[in-house]
Amino acid sequence: MSPTINVQQLSKTYQVPEREGGFGAAVRSFFKRKYKDVKAVQQVDFKIEQGEIVGFLGPNGAGKTTTLKMLSGLLHPTGGKAEVLGFTPWELKPEYLRVMTLVMGQRNRLSWDIPAADSFLLNQAIYRIPDDEYKQTYKELDELLELEPLMKKPVRNLSLGERMKCEIAAGLLHRPKVLFLDEPTIGLDITGQARIREFLREYNKRTGATILLTSHYMADVTALCERIIIIHHGNLKYDGGINDLSRRIAPFKLIGVRLAEPNSHDLSKYGEPVQNEEDAEKQYIQVKAEDVTRVTSKLLADLPVHDITIADPPIEDVIEQAFNQ
């Protein structure tokens, strides 16, 4: 069975105009403009199977959004090829547009001055969704996102969390088989982020849709994705499981110790001290994974330990190391 998304040597290079400051340089640029090539994506390869939720990660400017725009057909690549559900995205065939959606957390798809309900009806007309199918889909989305109280309000009067729920729902009215989600929880509070994550998990479970997700919130990634793809400076740096990445890039564990008298002993002789602002009651040290049993036993034997925990390093730290390799 062919993968749902198949990317081979995909590249995108922008020509960006540049000039020096000053009036003279501005005048000269009217007659002869200088350009600089910026390689946003460089020969990227990956495959995604039906029903997978894959995190697509990287720092700002890494090429994530450019890749999603190429896969959704908004941009034409400089080189390479891609297939999504057997379609070449940038050919923009109507049959392809009916089976995919792109939701960008920093862009509006809803009309600002009219109720969200009218934008939903406009999408129904654009995608030629039969009334019965539209009502059934809306009912399911309302059940998951509690949309009904929001439908009669102008979009400009919705909170950010309410608007994002409507934005995502509007992109799913035509029941797409592939979702490209670019920062869908950006700017939301913790409760709003959790609601969107729970919705995406349930939507994937119910429909079997394939989801490619970018996010700067690692909670999104760890809650939804078993597999991640890391891109940095346009290059693919990693493609695999989160746990595999942790073992490969950061083969160490964090031991947290709460003593009878906080900070009464120096733990540096047992491992490398690590700051943890979220748990000030414990002292943390970093040790190699193979040394955890030995170090834990020594801590319990030497010190008045009231509580001890062993944890993997934060995924943010692991991915930061991957970026810098």
Q: What is the pLDDT along the chain (325 residues), one digit of tens a residue?
A: 789 999 999 999 998 877 777 777 677 777 777 878 889 999 999 999 999 999 999 888 889 999 999 999 999 999 999 999 999 999 999 999 999 999 987 677 788 889 999 999 999 999 999 999 999 999 989 888 889 999 999 989 988 888 888 988 999 999 999 999 998 888 788 888 888 899 899 999 989 999 999 988 888 888 899 899 999 888 998 999 988 887 777 788 899 999 888 777 889 999 999 887 667 788 999 999 899 999 999 999 999 998 999 988 877 777 777 777 6
User: Which tokens hold the place of 152?
Assistant: 């009669």
> How much is the pTM?
0.82
Q: Give the per-residue SS3 of 32-93.
A: CCEEEEEEEEEEEEEEECCCCEEEEECCCCCCHHHHHHHHCCCCCCCEEEEEECCECHHHCC
The angle subtended at Cα 92 by Cα 211 and Cα 52, nearest 5°, is 15
Q: Which helix (H) or strand (E) segment is 288 a member of? A: strand 283-288
User: Which tokens hold the place of 273?
Assistant: 């001290």
CATH number of 250-323: 3.30.70
Q: Please state, in angstroms and rounded to a whole number, the distance separating the CA atoms of residues 262 and 258.
A: 7
Cβ contacts of residue 289 below 8 Å, gap of 6+?
247, 251, 252, 253
3-state secondary structure of 229: strand
Q: For domain 5-109+171-245, which CATH number applies: 3.30.930.10, 3.40.50.300, 3.40.50.10490, 3.30.1330.40?
A: 3.40.50.300
Both ends of the chain: CA-CA distance in Å?
34
Nearest to 218 by CA among 192, 195, 242: 242
For the chain, where do the domains classified as CATH 3.40.50.300 start and end?
5-109+171-245
Q: What is the pLDDT of residue 325?
A: 64
Could you tell me if 66 and 41 are in contact, meaning their C-beta atoms sit under 8 angstroms apart?
A: yes
Greatest Cα-to-Cα distance within the chain, rounded to the nearest angstrom: 78
Please give the DSSP secondary-structure letter assigned to residue 155.
G
Q: Which helix (H) or strand (E) segment is 254 a member of? A: strand 252-259
For the chain, where do the domains classified as CATH 3.30.70 start and end?
250-323
